[in-house]
Amino acid sequence: MTLMHSDVAPATSHPSQHPPDDERLAFLRCLLADRSWTPDVLQRARLQQVLAALRTPGLGPLDEGLWMLLADETARYLDFRRQQSLERLLH
């Protein structure tokens, strides 16, 4: 079965063609600065590479692997923060 929605426009451009808003960059900076969040050294280096690429216009588009890394790490970090919040509430 195929679902069709006339109010949904198809994606016509690659996500890296649009500059990220300041809120997303601030979130990534917070993720990297949070001392209680400890991704492995390679992941941290790759996230710093993503941050540098997003902050530098003309550096070139991010490849799909870096976009996926950013999405995965963001999800893990948000889960980590929710768990910390719940633990504080329980104590």
17-48 pLDDT per residue, tens: 445 567 888 889 999 999 998 888 998 998 99
For residue range 4-22, list pLDDT tens digits in order. Answer: 444 444 444 444 444 556 7
Q: For residue 7, which phi and psi values (nearest 5 degrees)?
A: -90, 0
pTM score, whole prediction: 0.67
Give the span between the Cα atoms of 82 and 38, in whole angstroms: 16
Q: What is the DSSP letter of 56?
A: S
